[in-house]
Chain A
Amino acid sequence: MSRPVQQFKAQAELSTHNLRLRATIQTALEKYAVVRDTNRRAFQDYQAARQAAAEIKWEAINHLDRYLEQFVSKLEARGTKVHWAGTGRLAREIILGIIREKKARSIIKSKTMTSEEIHLNEALEREGFEVVESDLGEFIVQLNKETPYHIVFPAMHLTRGEIKELFNRELAADASDNPEELTRVARRVLRKKYVGADIGFTGANFAVADAGMVSITENEGNARLTAALPKTLITLLGIEKVLPRLEDLALFLPLLATSGTGQPLTCYNTMYGGPRQPGESDGPEEWHVVLLDNRRTELLADAEQRDSLHCIRCGACLNVCPIFRNVGGPAYGTTYSGPVGSVITPHLRGWQDWKHLSFSSSLCGACTETCPVKIDLAHHLLQNRRKAVTQKSSLAGKLGFKLFAFIFNRPRLYRRVAPLGRLGQKLHPLVKGTRLDPAYAWTKSRATPQIAPRTFREFWRERNLHEIQQRPMQETKGQNQI
């Protein structure tokens, strides 16, 4: 068994037994579901809006080269420096290069999952830079030395009591567990960081091709401050974030908000077109946009699953997923968890290590049902299972099935071997549930099907014998005639 599988199982075991954690998650998600449903109902035709969004994303992804070039040339025309990074390593090098060149010390970040994907914080901290997450949830998990629990609600697993203790310990605060008071503590700490930061760092929700603008969605105002105050701004985004036209946002902003947090529209939806322009009073002097591939083109090359690049990272599929709700984000061990994470991670990080995620699904279809851009996630999970099998299955598994096929194709051999199974099962209780059990992986958590005391053949033979003895001759004759 490879490491990510073991970690998934171990963590899932822990989380599912942690009733306190599960209650916290359930309450948070129930609150989300109530507002989400209200605001989805407020649409005059939600299904038509979803359908149009799926079509627009299809258009963007299936002409990605064209739209990216348009996006980039518009950005460059206004003095933004655009960098292309094929891999996470290259993206980190580019970003470190900019920071070193600026002789910067401190970096203020607004929430970006893409930087989690390339493990940016670790790389920056290794080089001795101070990196501060400014989104409240991200700030909390950073302080707690964790990774985000959820792509939209990073600190949803922590109670206010735990956050209070964390703040009082790490920030020498003296706060109660009142969320308002806790938020104020974070605000005060982070304000200082903003004003002093050399570099601002953001992600992006959409890259608008025709306007050459980056659109960022947030509630707190931290991304707006990040993009306004420091002298240098760096924005990291995956190449799949493209939307063809600015007015497409009229559809995507409300869809993202309703699915993401349940709100009709998030508090700040901001589009950036460049660094500080001549005649403008503030904003960064330099803006660097880093476009990241990191194997997205491999997903693109798979025409069947290409639409998983339509994802707008709203997190809705995580919220409805019975697996995510119970095993929680950390079990996945991936940047993107939940159904969408299970679909894309094997493509991005390798099948052998990550295929198990596609098997840990009940295929209930709730993810497909909720996705605002109509990605058929459940179907993709199924396809992944097929791919995982054709990619490579274990030697023991292969031999097992070969043997199975061999025996079942040979009736005589089968007749001989079948009673052995019964014998085996009689002996099974001796080892059942222990590691000596050759079928341990199966029997650990499942009941073993009972092998019938006689096979159908045996039954039929006996029955015929019996009948010949018992019944009147004609009937037997009649039967034989049929």
Chain B
Amino acid sequence: MNEREKILARIREALTVQAPFPGEPRAPGQQRPSPAQVRKWLPPAADSFDEQLALFRQNATSLKADFYALNLRDELKSRLLALRDAEDWRKIASHSGELTDLGVSALGVPVLKTDSGYDINELEKCDAGITECDALIAQTGSVLVANRSAGGRALSVLPPHHVVLARRKQLLPDLPAAFELLKQKYGCNYPGMISFITGPSRTGDIERILVLGAHGPRKLTIFFL
């Protein structure tokens, strides 16, 4: 027997004795909570689009992320330019995408693209990483990214400023909705990495005092178009 078989055999042997179920016995098929049930237990998410937007804004703000809902795509360019000047971006990184292409084109600084192989040392030198995303989650103020939709694994976490460009229709009410989306979108072929990003990187490891920018970005800016 190899190690795998040995461990599995020990597990099967152990499980011959039943352990009591921790609650009311369930009918078969009733065994797991539906997303609708989970939704009723978690912190409330709003129903209408406007309420969800307000909730996302409120959560993002309390997480110390910057959130801007923009009306015109032109406005995106001017906002990005303002950031570039305020933070003196010399070089940025991004990936190909409808929104990222639009945003990056206006910046006039060198852009490292992370769509295919790239040099980590170069990415480390970038002042900002601009990505798209899979969804925004109102309930938690999170940005959902996957390596397929957001330029790989490192782009959204290595540069000191992560700028997210999101579309109106990407706003979701809550976590159950986010997992439904993942299932629909990726089915049984999940991407190598999926991440819920909830605010800029942080730590409380020194006397539980909040410090932003532990290892990941110190700043997270979300543009909602």
Contacts and interface: CB of A to CB of B under 8 A. Distances in A.
A118 interface: no
Contact of B198 (A68, A154, A228, A265): A265
B197 to A, nearest CB: 6
Interface of B: 2-4, 6-8, 10-15, 17-23, 26, 31-33, 35, 37-38, 40-44, 59, 95, 114-118, 120-121, 124, 140, 142, 147-148, 151-154, 157-158, 174-176, 178-180, 182-183, 190-209, 211, 213-217
A96 interface: no
Given A195-B121, A221-B201, A250-B179, A55 B43 contact: no
Contacts of B152: 228, 280-283
Interface of A: 24, 27-28, 31-32, 39, 42-46, 48-49, 51-52, 54-56, 58-59, 61-65, 68-69, 78, 83-86, 90, 134-137, 140, 153-156, 158-160, 163, 179-180, 182-184, 187, 190-191, 195, 211-213, 219-222, 224-225, 227-229, 239, 244-251, 253-254, 261, 264-277, 280-283, 291, 293, 297-298, 300-301, 303-304, 306-307, 374
Contacts, number: 297
Given A136-B206, A159-B207, A272-B192, A227 B43 contact: no
Most chain A C-beta atoms within 10 Å of own C-beta, residue among B124, B201, B214: B214
B120 A281 contact: no
Nearest to A183: B211
A293 B10 contact: yes
B196 A268 contact: yes
A268 B203 contact: no
A65 B117 contact: no
A213 B23 contact: no
A270 B192 contact: no
Q: Is the interface of B mostly helix, strand, loop or mixed?
A: loop
B125 to A, nearest CB: 11
A294 B158 CA distance: 35
A280 B147 contact: yes
Given A250-B179, A281-B116, A44 B11 contact: no
A219 B196 contact: no
A280 B17 CA distance: 46
Given A221-B201, A224-B153, A291 B7 contact: yes
B35 A374 contact: no
A322 to B, nearest CB: 20
A162 to B, nearest CB: 10
B215 A307 contact: no
B208 A307 contact: no
A65 B43 contact: no
Nearest to B6: A86
Contacts of A298: 14
